[in-house]
Amino acid sequence: MSTQYIDDMSGVSTTGHEWDGIRELNNPLPRWWVITFYVTIAWAIGYTIAYPAWPMLSSATRGVLGFSSRGEVKNEMAAAEAAKTKYVAAIKSKSVSEIAGDDALREFAVSAGGAAFRVNCVQCHGSGAQGSKGFPNLNDDDWLWGGKMEQIQQTITHGIRFTADGDTRQSEMPAFADVLQPEQIAQVSAFVASLSGAVKDKSMSEPGAKVFAENCAVCHGENAKGNREFGAPDLTDAIWLYGPGEAAIASQVRAPKGGVMPAWIERLGEIKVKELAVYVHSLGGGE
Amino acid sequence: MLDNKQIKRLEAEAVNSAKTRQPLYAARRKIFPKRTSGRFRQFKWLVMAITLGIYYLTPWLRWNRGAFAPDQAVLIDLASRRFYFFFIEIWPQEFYYVAGLLMMAGVGLFLITSTVGRAWCGYTCPQTVWVDLFLVVERAIEGDRNARMKLDAAPWSARKLFLRGSKHAIWLAIAVATGGAWIFYFADAPKLLGEVLSGTAAPVAYGTIAVLTGTTYVLGGLMREQVCTYMCPWPRIQAAMLDENSLTVTYNDWRGEPRSRHAKKVSATGQAVGDCVDCNACVAVCPMGIDIRDGQQLECITCALCIDACDGVMDKLGRERGLISYATLADYNANMALATAGGANPVDPALVRTASGGFVDGLAHFHLGKIFRLRTFIYLGTWLAIGLVLVYSLLTRERLELNVLHDRNPQLVRLSDGAIRNGYTVKLLNMIPEPRTIEVTLEGLDGGEMSIVGIDQAPSRSFSVPVEPDRLKTLKVFVRQPAGQIKKPVQRFEFRIEDNASSESAEYTASFNAQENGR
């Protein structure tokens, strides 16, 4: 430090930093630059007074402007709610079919219903509404209780086998383990499996047809097309809620399972239920 | 007792010794550029008129685009994300045109700088143009250099207050007009002007005007040369951009030195005398406040006003113009070598002069050929290549496009009759400001049929879809294929769209999954 290097060319001293012979001139800063620097400091102090900043023991200073990011979110949410009121009012006053008939309203209902679906329905029906064993796929065209928009609305509103709701969709397939002989169960399973595929063993499926006519046709229909009054599935199609194949069918004949879906009207209210009905109908399988 | 001399002096110095202490900051030295006239000053007036004209008038030009698009020739419509430039309309995804223009601007700047030096700084940079404009006002109100210096030194009086007040008022008015003109590029100009004047325009419009008023007033009126010297990165890049064949404003020492205020007296004593009479005209007119005779320097924006000033003096003295001139470093060095006998002696003007007073033949002069060198050709070639690619792509670009997104969850749906259904989000882009009817067709995929949500039509391989002008239309499309005709886990097929009226078309190859994770 004792000897200061003075640059020959400019006659200005250097900062003492050197990189491969390149030195940095120690020119004075412009005064306005220094003033600007102090202004930014003053600004920063003012900013911490105006806005929440200084941490205290259990909270932080609130700032004299009263700004809070939670408050901002609240305002934005309120503004978003206000922007939706027009659509929400229309959805409240119209039937689901009328909603679906109006392009703008349908678009709104589909996205609002989609959001509600992702919160309330995906736990059973899956994130893509594709279902799983025992939980129906809502994308396909096979409906236990009907795929019209009003029918879907009815299902969501009151649920299925949800005893707390008096209007719930109710049905129960009896367990045939005590009614039919194991031989008969095997025969009827072979018959049902043959309805949607090739006949494997006539000696089984032909007597099975008789067992079916006597025991099953009451609910599933003589042609096994099912009955939506009782939520009795169509046994002739390619879709199997509890799995395809004779073994899965036999298990369902012996000790049938029936899923329970809660009634959503209490929890979500009429508007959300309508939006959900429109959304589910829009997935591609609606009738 | 010891003698003073017996006490050894230690080699020590205070770290903050006054001998070596530097000031930490320095006040701005005021500059009072003198008015000048000449060729370059004329040219600068012209450039100022053109650049300010472009800036202020462009938003008011009209361009008819029909009923479905704005009629402003140049418009950046941020709300609906469209950019209009005369016959060109750009959607956000075509932003590469802007990127291309920026590349051309960059390479163009290199080209200009490598040939004619800092012409951008000296003539067309907004900072230069607006400072020039503010100086016009300053001179008109306070007078030329001497009057301004006198006024500045004078104590505050009613007259000084009035002059200063009116100068700043006019500066502010120009600044408001500058900020005001900017916003018209972003909305319909006549309508926005009415809104701004009646106080009904959006707050962002007033905010923009306020910010640009502030920057124009502070940068153009108060900061001036400080912006170029301390804030702008471009002067620092010059060292890399200029080479020995670039034109820069140059003081020709080889004919100017030794300078003298008393040429005749000195000449009479038999000493060498150069052309420079040390009148300081070049320093007085410089808007950057520098002395070009110190050589090329970071602060020089090459506005060439010192050339005009010096030429005027040379004319009065009856000597050739060009003591200060645009010259290349190569020419300057060659002539300096000539005038100093290879650097051995101080400058002797006699070495570059003939007996009759003209210049010797060996003197290097600038000629146009020096502009053409490999470097400038590379810049020019790059600039042209980018430009041609942009023009070609602009002329051949599609105004009808489609994007297809395959549903991922679920990838496929098995239907009750065993058929497989896949869902797609199809986006139709109608990029012209006219409504169209687009034919959406399925190609390939044996037995495949589609249905579109919201369009009441039985499943089919072809749909007619009306699309609004200059809009994107999103369709939810379900494609199903009967069980018997599914051949592979994944099949390729095409969505094809066509505008029957203009026979424009576009295709997208999509995949149809018949099996989960079938790949």
Per-residue pLDDT at B518 exceeds 70: no
Site from B15, B19, B414, B421 to mutate, A interface, most A CB atoms within 10 angstroms: B414
pLDDT digits (tens, 9 = 90+) for B245-291: 899 999 998 888 888 888 777 777 777 788 899 999 999 999 999 99
Instruction: Pull the structure tokens for residue A127.
Output: 């994130």
CATH superfamily of A72-168+268-282: Cytochrome c-like domain (1.10.760.10)
A72-168+268-282 and A182-254, same CATH topology: yes
**CB nearest to B413's CB, from A31, A140, A282:** A140
With beta carbons under 8 A apart, name residues in chain A contacting B28: 30-32
**CB nearest to A29's CB, from B24, B408, B416:** B24
- Rounded to the nearest angstrom, the minimum Cα separation between A21 and chain B is 18
Give the Å distances, CA to CA, from B390 to B88, B259, B412: 12, 54, 42
With beta carbons under 8 A apart, name residues in chain A contacting B413: 130, 137, 139-140, 284-285
pLDDT digits (tens, 9 = 90+) for B127-144: 999 999 999 999 999 999
Domain extents in chain A = 1-67, 72-168+268-282, 182-254
pLDDT of residue A287: 83
Interface A:B, Cβ pairs < 8 A: 79
Q: How far apart are CA B379 and CA B106, in angstroms?
A: 10
A130 and B413 within 8 Å at the Cβ level: the answer is yes
- Domains defined for chain B, CATH in brackets: 39-236 (no CATH), 244-366 (no CATH), 400-513 (2.60.40.10)
- Nearest one of A38, B275, B291 to B267, comparing CA atoms: B275
3-state secondary structure of B72: strand
pLDDT of residue B350: 80
Q: How far apart are CA B279 and CA B287, in angstroms?
A: 17
Residue with tokens 């969850």: B409
A29 and B413 within 8 Å at the Cβ level: the answer is no
Site from B16, B225, B413 to mutate, A interface, most A CB atoms within 10 angstroms: B413
Per-residue pLDDT at B119 exceeds 50: yes
Per-residue pLDDT at B115 exceeds 60: yes
CB atoms within 10 A of CB B213: 20
pLDDT of residue B378: 95
Q: B14-20: long-range contacts (C-beta < 8 A, 24 or more apart)?
A: B15/A1, B20/A4, B20/A13
Q: How far apart are CA A189 and CA A253, in angstroms?
A: 8
Average pLDDT, stretch B219-233?
A: 92
Instruction: Pull the structure tokens for residue A88.
Output: 């929400």
Q: How far apart are CA B376 and CA B368, in angstroms?
A: 13
Q: Is B205 exposed, middle or buried (0-12, 13-18, 19+ CB in 10 A)?
A: buried
Beta bridge partners of B495: B442, B508
Residue A269 pLDDT class (50, 70, 90 cuts)? very high
With beta carbons under 8 A apart, name residues in chain A contacting B15: 1
- Cα B370 to chain centroid, rounded: 26
Contact by Cβ (8 Å): B256, B275: yes
Of A71 and B263, the structure prediction assigns the larger pLDDT to: A71
With beta carbons under 8 A apart, name residues in chain A contacting B480: none
Site from B228, B420, B453, B468 to mutate, A interface, most A CB atoms within 10 angstroms: B453
pLDDT digits (tens, 9 = 90+) for A162-203: 999 999 999 999 999 999 999 999 999 999 999 988 778 889
**CB nearest to B454's CB, from A29, A103, A139:** A103
Of B189 and A285, the structure prediction assigns the larger pLDDT to: B189
Supply the DSSP symbol for B186: G
pLDDT of residue A3: 58
B25 and A30 within 8 Å at the Cβ level: the answer is yes
B13 and A26 within 8 Å at the Cβ level: the answer is no
Of B461 and A21, the structure prediction assigns the larger pLDDT to: B461
Residue B296 pLDDT class (50, 70, 90 cuts)? confident
Per-residue pLDDT at B355 exceeds 80: no
Q: Complex ipTM above 0.90?
A: no
3-state secondary structure A142-180: CCCCCCCHHHHHHHHHHCECCCCCCCCECCCCCCCCCCC
Statement: A182-254 belongs to CATH 1.10.260.40: no
Per-residue pLDDT at A2 exceeds 60: no
